[in-house]
């Protein structure tokens, strides 16, 4: 799928976007920068620790194309990359069962490995790939691609839940307004979105010249308006 010797992943280009997100444990809202510090000391998260369980790794996941979309996750040391693939699909991406791939340095780990491209399997333990300081890229759909940037922050001796991947925090949904009347948007045109437009309220959706068949719902996901994604 990907070139067997890809370039090292680079963080998303910095843009001045004011975003906030909520801690999944105490539900308090923080800025994108402050949420990292909060998660280290959140009493509600500490109360969720599972004694006697092997530890976990803290990662951040961010859209390569729109930095308003981000998550912080805790991945169990006992998990495999396929568990992380399932989680980001279910939370942000899944629409039509497309292929996906992680890339870390010269290695790629594919949902459907191709030996001609030297792909590895996603059945690899996360401990082999998710080491503190590591950076990965993740692609979902090799046609209308949604690309994520993953940064490994640190290891923890604890786990915060039974699941292999636990949500720590996530961005609050950006607010979009109708291009026709300025009301809160509920739909986006899959044609006009590529021109940075096409957000419509429920009333104006029926009058849009691209017809209602081209509309998808406004959702809190970097895949909004792409392919058949409805959230």
What are 114-132's pLDDT values in tens digits? 887 788 999 999 989 999 9
Number of neighbours of residue 202 by Cβ within 10 angstroms: 12
Domains of the chain, start order: 20-171 (3.10.290.30), 174-231 (no CATH)
HEC per residue, 111-162: CCCCHHHCCEECCCEHHHCCCCCCEEEEEECCCCCEEEEEEEEEEECCCCCC
The 10s digit of each residue's pLDDT in 52-87 is 888 999 999 999 999 999 999 999 999 999 999 999
Q: 3-state class of 45 per DSSP?
A: helix
Q: Please, is 17 exposed, middle or buried when counting C-beta atoms within 10 Å of its C-beta (0-12, 13-18, 19+)?
A: exposed
Tokens (6 digits) for 94: 């899944």
Other Cβ atoms closer than 10 A to 203: 12
DSSP letter (8 states) at residue 17: -
Can you tell me the mean pLDDT for 157-182? Answer: 93
β-sheet bridge partners, residue 29 = 22
pLDDT tens-digit readout, 145-169: 999 999 999 999 999 999 999 999 9
Better pLDDT: 72 or 197: 72
3-state DSSP assignment of residue 196 = coil
Any idea which residue has 């912080």 for tokens? 72
What is the band of 10 on the pLDDT scale with cuts at 50, 70, 90?
Answer: low
- Which residue in the block uniquely carries the two structure tokens 């729109």? 66
- The model's confidence at residue 8, banded by pLDDT at 50, 70 and 90, is very low
Q: What is the mean pLDDT of residues 45-52?
A: 92
Over residues 74-102, mean pLDDT: 96
DSSP, res 177? B
pLDDT computed for residue 18 by the predictor: 56
Whether the predicted pLDDT of 9 surpasses 70: no
pLDDT, residue 152, reads 96
Q: Is residue 208 scored above 90 in pLDDT?
A: no
């Amino acid at each position: 799928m990907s070139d067997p010797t890809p370039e090292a992943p680079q963080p998303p280009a910095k843009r001045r976007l004011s975003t906030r997100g909520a801690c999944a444990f105490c539900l308090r809202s923080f800025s994108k920068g402050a949420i990292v510090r909060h998660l280290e000391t959140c009493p509600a998260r500490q109360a969720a620790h599972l004694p006697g369980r092997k530890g976990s790794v803290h990662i951040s996941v961010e859209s390569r194309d729109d930095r308003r979309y981000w998550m912080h996750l805790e991945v169990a040391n006992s998990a495999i990359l396929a568990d992380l693939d399932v989680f980001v699909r279910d939370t942000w991406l899944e629409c039509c069962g497309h292929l996906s791939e992680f890339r870390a340095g010269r290695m790629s780990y594919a949902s459907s490995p191709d030996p001609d491209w030297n792909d590895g399997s996603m059945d690899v333990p996360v401990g082999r790939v998710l080491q503190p300081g590591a950076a990965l890229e993740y692609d979902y759909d090799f046609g209308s691609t949604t690309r994520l940037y993953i940064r490994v922050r640190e290891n923890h001796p604890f786990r915060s839940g039974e699941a292999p991947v636990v949500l720590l925090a996530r961005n609050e949904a950006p607010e979009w307004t109708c291009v026709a009347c300025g009301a809160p948007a509920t739909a986006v045109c899959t044609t006009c979105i590529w021109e940075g437009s096409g957000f419509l309220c429920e009333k104006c959706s029926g009058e849009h010249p691209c017809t209602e068949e081209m509309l998808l719902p406004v959702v809190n996901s970097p895949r909004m308006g792409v392919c058949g994604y409805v959230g």
